[in-house]
Chain A
Amino acid sequence: MTAMPDKKDEYDENAATWREIDPESVKTEILAKYPPKVARKRSKHFVVNKKKDEKSYEEIQANVRTIPGIISQRGCCYAGCKGVVMGPTRDIINLTHGPVGCGFYSWLTRRNQTDPSTTPDGDNFMTYCFTTDMQEREIVFGGEKKLRQAIQEAYDTFKPKMISVFSTCPVGLIGDDVHAVTREMQKKLGITIFGFSCEGYKGVSQSAGHHVANNGLFQHVIGKDDTVQEGEYKVNLLGEYNIGGDEFIIDELFEKCGIKIISTFSGNSSVDHFQNSHTADLNLIMCHRSINYVADMMEEKYGIPWMKINFLGANATSASLRKIAQYYGDQKLIDRVEEVIAEEMVAVEKAQADVRSRLEGKLAMMFVGGSRAHHYQELFNEMGMQTIAAGYEFAHRDDYEGRNVLPTIKVDADSRNIEELEVKKDPERYNPRIPEDELAAGVRNGIELKAYDGMMADMEENVTYAIDDISQYETEKMIEIYKPDIFCAGIKEKYMVQKHGMPMKQLHSYDSGGPYAAYKGAINFYCEIDRMINSKVWKHIRAPWEENPQLAAMYANE
């Protein structure tokens, strides 16, 4: 099989030659290295993107256990629950019940920005790490006593309005009843205190932790404050974690359009906002994977419809704003949104035209958590770049293939123990925001509700790949074969990719950059990618004496 030509001086040819590579033979070549059983398993996760029929895509296997020793980039249930969903809420004390590591590593390492000035008490505990720092004696005799005492001390020292407790691996094994302890302490201290059973071994990835977190938020936080706020179009932004200030910029855009965000799950969030979130008219989902559970449960209990939106990419932002305006069907909002789009697109188009001259036809690969590997393709499209391969660490089939496959997904033994809450209509507060028949049909003013078509639908057929839970080895092979111009993933991949002599953009932390959401963010992103790909450093890698070795020989002969 032909690999791509040597990268050094043939950037421009890549655009043409990569299409000549046969993806099925790439797949065969890569999988050949594995022991046969592993190759069979990985084969189902490594899919050449094509349509099976009009409506559906090639089936991909996802959300199953990681193969031991394969070097996956996945994390655990605790990371999904504490690190991702609950971590960004500033005024709750998140107490890790376990040995010191889990709390330590999730301390300030995700860039969830927060602005404490937007809640009256100004509380912000996100700069702190709270842990019970379990010792051997707690493993032997149980940690409930220490947990109880730690909650008391946290309350005495910080007087928070809410404390939540996160279970780590040994907690489940030694049988500490975190929920009993938190119930008891809630009664004693009179503030909301609750626990999460998010032991690291639950499920197969961070994904289980999202679900556990969604359940906890829904049971203990959402719906506690019925105050109805002013504002014509009241929405919740779900699955937006304000990495690098993305939420701030979306909020600013919404304000311009006259749309009010009641609560964001959970970037720049506060307990107060969560408690009031059930008073919104509409839930907007950014990251489908991490928060679709809350959206479904809120619809069921309170009658709030949800729709998928995407604010990554200027075109996606415009489309999402139009979708929201169309949903409300109010001409005033529709007009306002059009004005805002027209206004914002001036700078965007200028920036696009500038970077396109240097980026058109360049190749990208991206392997990110459970959402961004799809959304960032929009931004690359706008620069004229092509995504050849994309995948998730822990998404489920619906994120790849679209929610229409939901009825066919079987929950396997590894994920069966993640609780599914039974949700019923709230007898008093259920209030369908749109007519029941429209809610049931999932269509409002021509806008599809509760719908997500997944990543594969937006990728070119027959020449691109969807690769689930990609391994270190597969990553290296894909890089070697395609020599992409940029590779997007996380910190663990970053320096490995850069050692290959190519730029690597972190799409978890944004490499300390951002925001990348909405129009201003799109411009930031174009500039960032332009800077990375066209940096001089890539041309300095070979020393002059490697380029012209014959000179040395001449001197030697003299």
Chain B
Amino acid sequence: MLLRHTPKEISERKALTVNPAKTCQPIGAMYASLGIHGCLPHSHGSQGCYAYHRSTLTRHYKEPVLAATSSFTEGASVFGGQANLLQAINNIFTVYNPDVIAVHTTCLSETIGDDIPQIFGKAEADGKIPEGKYVLHANTPSYVGSHVTGFANMTKAMVEYFATGNGHREKCLNLIPGWVEPSDMKEIKRIATEMGVNSILFPDTENVLNGPQTGKFTMYPKGGVTVDQLKKTGSSRGTIGLGRLASEPAALALDAKFKVPCKILDLPIGLKATDRFVDAMRQMAGVTVPDSLNLERGQLLDIITDMQAYFYHKKVGLVGDPDQLEALTEFLIDIDMLPIHVLTGTRDKKFEKRIQELTADLPCEVNVKSGGDMMLFHQWVKNEPVDLLIGNTYVKYISRDEDIPFIRHGFPILDRIGHSYFPTVGYKGAMRLLEKILDALMDRQDRDSSEIEFELVM
């Protein structure tokens, strides 16, 4: 047993977190920054953070993840990191020539209280920011929220630094995809295109973190939202923010600053959340839903109809980030499954209420917690076993110990590929999710059935 010390009996822990179901802010900011074209993320802190964040994103994407750091020493930690950041900006523009440097902070620079805008002002005054180049920053204290908060803060910073209004409402929608995979960002853009909606998606990591092998390394890959596009977001007709935690702050900032009306929706994972996304775009942009999307929706429903027997009342345990879990929970309920353990490490008051509302009619007890950890999740599973586990790679230890089928979803996935290439959002993504769920459950049935019961046709 790999987690042999986890007791079945649950005792309350107030101070000790064991096997966290979240990580810290800056990695989310780094991921969001990579969704700007020509951008080098910069970590203002000691260099260990950026080494860890780069490594984790790299392991998740199997792609280069470039970023820089202020490399604090003990001296800088006491006297402030201004000199380090000024040097870094100069070195970065001289040696690596990005279009944009996106600075985020760590618990170190936040605790000592470095004032980044003031340092930017000094860099500007010293002529260290070349003509046509940009810097932006987000404060991302690791002791507040989680990696999702960091993503939201950097996405909001894109609005704060770049969005401008031209007084007109252009025929364009802003789409904020939330913390999803590059493949999902691509799928969201495709759905908009199918509907004839002109959109600006930010951040956009498609073609940055799922790039091709060409024999030539390019430090700044093709993808990413451009600063010019970001500037235009203040003149769009509306904003759709997908994922409350990850996207709402940026969407609200656009509303507050430029009166761009916004709608905050769930991540478009599953049937109804995708329906709401498509419908919102239809209404905001004043377009009709094309046959191509109706076809995809119908195909998704067809799979649910055909395979309903395999889903019905199967118990599922889910652990991950709030935006993903809320959408996934709804989808699982829509296909007659029973999400009975739903836990996130990210503290969020609305999360528990939302999951309780969604699961209110289920014919069983449901465990919900925000700000919990994977040890508690494991204990729930020990006490009330499930048929399927959904979560990031760390869940495989629980899956193995408890012998429960498992599908990987969320961040980070360190031991499989696919997430960066094949979406789980939209109708197409929902079809892929169903395929994964069925593969897991049916492989288990094949493994467990006796020779007599073993089926050719399923």
B217 x A100 contact (CB < 8 A): no
Please measure, in the bound complex, the distance between the C-alpha atom of A203 and the C-alpha atom of B77, giving whole angstroms: 12
Name the 9 nearest CB pairs between A and B, nearest first. Answer: A76-B48, A69-B88, A101-B24, A501-B215, A149-B15, A105-B52, A69-B91, A99-B142, A68-B88
Contact of A314 with B by CB under 8 A: no
| Residues in B whose Cβ lies below 8 Å from that of A75 | 47-48, 51-52
- Verify A501–B216 contact, CB threshold 8 A: yes
0/1 interface trace, chain B 1-42, chain A, CB 8 Å (1 if under): 011110100010111111110111011000000000000001
With contacts A73-B51, A149-B16 taken as known, whether A101 is within 8 angstroms of B26 at the C-beta atoms is yes
Contact residues of A between 135 and 188, Cβ < 8 Å to B = 135-136, 138-139, 146-150, 152-154, 156-158, 168-170, 172-174
Kindly list chain A residues whose C-beta atoms are within 8 Å of the C-beta of B13: 153, 157
Contact of A150 with B16 at beta-carbon distance under 8 Å, contacts A101-B27, A201-B74 already known: yes
Smallest distance from the beta carbon of B20 to chain A beta carbons, Å? 5
Chain A residues within 8 Å of B11, by CB = 156-157
Task: Please tell me the number of chain A residues within 8 Å of chain B, measured between CB atoms.
Answer: 92
Give the shortest distance, in Å, between A144 (CB) and chain B (any CB): 11
List residues of chain B with CB within 8 A of the CB of A73: 51
Q: How far is the CA of A309 from the CA of B141 in the complex (A)?
A: 44
The A39-82 residues at the B interface (CB cut-off 8 A) are 65-79
7 contacts between A and B (CB under 8 A): A101-B49, A102-B48, A103-B17, A139-B111, A149-B14, A201-B76, A499-B216
User: Does residue B68 face the partner (Cβ distance < 8 Å to A)?
Assistant: yes
Q: How far is the CA of A103 from the CA of B375 in the complex (A)?
A: 15
Which of A68, A79, A491, A541 has a CB less than 8 Å from the CB of B58? A491
Establish whether residues B92 and A101, one from each chain, have CB atoms under 8 Å apart when the complex forms: no
Known A-B contacts A38-B91, A172-B77; the reply to A72 vs B24 at CB < 8 A is: no
Is A542 in contact with chain B by the CB < 8 A criterion? yes
A129 to B24: give the CA distance in the assembly, Å. Answer: 14
B residues less than 8 Å from A77 (CB atoms)? 48
- Contact across chains for A66 and B14 when beta carbons are under 8 A apart: no
Q: How far is the CB of A97 from chain B (nearest CB, A)?
A: 10
Residue A12 lies at the interface, judged by CB distance under 8 Å to chain B: no
Q: Which of B20, B70, B77 contacts A131 (CB 8 A)?
A: B20
**Cα(A471)–Cα(B71), bound, Å:** 13
A473, B70: Cβ atoms closer than 8 Å: no
Q: Given contacts A71-B66, A138-B143, A492-B65, are A130 and B87 in contact (CB under 8 A)? A: no
Determine which residue in A76, A101, A205 has the highest number of CB atoms from chain B within 10 A of its CB, and name it: A101
Confirm or deny: B54 has a beta carbon within 8 angstroms of a beta carbon on chain A.
yes
Which chain A positions have C-beta within 8 A of B197? none
Q: Are A201 and B16 in contact (CB under 8 A)?
A: no
Residue of A nearest to B9 (CB): A157
Docked complex Cα distance between A77 and B175 (Å):
41
Contact yes or no, B216 A71, CB < 8 A: no
A101-B26, A205-B47 provided; 5 other pairs, C-beta below 8 A? A69-B68, A75-B47, A130-B16, A132-B17, A500-B216
Contact B146 A100 (CB under 8 A): yes
Inter-chain contacts of A496 with B (CB < 8 A): 64, 66, 217
Q: Which residue of A lies closest to B85 (CB)?
A: A68
How far does the alpha carbon of A472 sit from the alpha carbon of B68 in the complex, in Å?
A: 10
A142 to B142, CA, bound (A): 16
Known contacts A76-B47, A131-B17; decide if A417 and B87 are in contact (CB<8 Å).
Answer: no
Instruction: Give the residues in chain B near A134, CB-CB below 8 Å.
Output: 107, 143
Report the separation of the CA atoms of residues A100 and B67 in the bound assembly, to the nearest whole angstrom.
Answer: 21
Q: Identify which of A38, A76, A499 contacts B46 (C-beta below 8 A).
A: A76
**Do residues B58 and A494 form an inter-chain contact, with CB atoms below 8 A?**
yes
Taking a contact as CB atoms under 8 Å apart, the answer to whether B52 and A101 are in contact is yes
What mask results when residues 186 to 216 of chain A are scored 1 for a CB within 8 Å of chain B, else 0? Answer: 0000000000000111111100000000000
Residues of B within 8 A of A100 (CB): 17, 20, 22-24, 142, 146, 345
* Interfacial chain A residues near B7, Cβ < 8 Å: 157
Q: Given that A201-B72, A491-B58 are contacting pairs, would A169 and B24 also be in contact in the complex, using a CB cutoff of 8 Å?
A: no
Closest approach, in angstroms, between the C-beta of B415 and any C-beta of chain A? 9
Name the one of B22, B84, B95 contacting A33, with C-beta atoms under 8 angstroms.
B95
Minimal beta-carbon separation of B5 from chain A (angstroms) = 5
Chain A residues numbered 15-53 whose CB sits less than 8 Å from any CB in chain B: 33-35, 38
CA distance A316 to B83 in the complex (A): 46
Pick the most buried of B23, B47, B64, B217: most chain A CB atoms within 10 A of its CB. B47
Q: Which of A68, A105, A131, A499 has the most CB of B within 10 A?
A: A68
Instruction: Kindly list chain B residues whose C-beta atoms are within 8 Å of the C-beta of A131.
Output: 16-17, 20
Interface residues as binary, B321-362 with A (CB distance below 8 Å gives 1, 0 otherwise): 000000000000000000000000100000000000000000
Answer whether A129 and B90 are a contact pair too, CB < 8 Å, given A79-B48, A79-B52, A202-B74: no
Mark interface residues in B412-444 (1 if CB within 8 Å of A CB, else 0).
Answer: 000000000000000000000000000000000
Asked whether any CB of chain B lies closer than 8 Å to the CB of A124, the reply is yes
Q: List A residues at the B interface (Cβ < 8 Å).
A: 33-35, 38, 65-79, 95, 98-109, 122-125, 127-136, 138-139, 146-150, 152-154, 156-158, 168-170, 172-174, 199-205, 413-414, 417, 471-473, 476, 490-492, 494-501, 541-542
Among B45, B64, B84, B92, the most chain A Cβ lie within 10 Å of the Cβ of B64
B397 at the interface (CB under 8 A from A): yes
Assuming the contacts A35-B94, A131-B17, A200-B49, asked whether A101 and B88 have C-beta atoms less than 8 A apart, the reply is no
A294 CA to B53 CA, complexed, in Å: 31
Are B95 and A473 in touch, CB under 8 angstroms? yes
Q: Is the CB of B55 within 8 A of A35?
A: no
CB of B282 within 8 Å of the partner chain: no
| Cα distance, A202 to B75, chains bound together (Å) | 9
- Known contacts A68-B91, A76-B47, A201-B77; decide if A500 and B58 are in contact (CB<8 Å): no
Report Cα–Cα, A148/B14, bound state, in Å.
11
A130 vs B75: C-alpha distance when bound (angstroms): 29
Contact across chains for A169 and B42 when beta carbons are under 8 A apart: no
Residue picked from A73, A122, A174, A491, most chain B C-beta under 10 Å: A491
Residues in A with CB closer than 8 Å to B66 are 71, 472, 496
* Complex interface: chain B residues within 8 A of A132 (CB): 15-17
Contact A68–B70 (Cβ < 8 Å): yes
Which residue of B has the minimal Cβ distance to A158? B5
Instruction: Check if B73 is an interface residue, CB within 8 A of chain A.
Output: yes
How far, in Å, is B98 (CB) from chain A's closest CB? Answer: 11
List, in ascending order, chain A residues with CB within 8 A of B77's CB: 169, 172-173, 199, 201
Among B13, B59, B90, B91, chain A packs the most CB atoms within 10 A around the CB of B91
Contacts of B88 in A (CB 8 A): 68-69
Q: Inside 8 A of B107's CB, which chain A residues have their CB?
A: 98-99, 101, 134, 139, 168-170
Q: Tell me, rounded to whole Å, the shortest Cβ–Cβ distance linking B102 to chain A.
A: 13
Closest-by-CB residue of A relative to B414 is A109
Q: Mark B204-230, 1 if CB is under 8 A from A, else 0.
A: 000000010111111000000000000
Q: Which of A68, A122, A125, A200 interacts with B48 by CB under 8 Å? A: A200
Chain B: which residue is nearest A471 at the CB level? B95
Q: Kindly state the separation between the CA atoms of A3 and B211 in the bound complex, as whole angstroms.
A: 27
Task: Tell me if A200 and B55 are in contact (CB < 8 A).
Answer: no
Report the nearest B residue to A137, measured CB to CB: B143
Q: Which residue of B lies closest to A64 (CB)?
A: B73
**Pick from B4, B24, B84, B94: contact of A99, CB under 8 Å:** B24
Chain A residues with Cβ under 8 A from B68's Cβ?
Answer: 68-71
With both beta carbons as reference points, the residue of chain B lying nearest to A35 in the complex is identified as: B94
Chain B residues near A124 (CB, 8 Å)? Answer: 2, 4-5
Contact of B216 with A491 in the complex, beta carbons under 8 Å: no
Q: Is B295 an interface residue (CB 8 A)?
A: no
Q: Quick one: which of A71, A128, A476 has the most chain B CB within 10 A?
A: A71
For the complex, give the distance between the alpha carbons of A496 and B64 in Å: 5
Instruction: State whether A153 and B16 are in contact (beta carbons under 8 Å apart), knowing that A76-B51, A500-B215 are contacts in the complex.
Output: yes
- Given the complex of chains A and B, what is the CA–CA distance between A133 and B26 in angstroms? 15
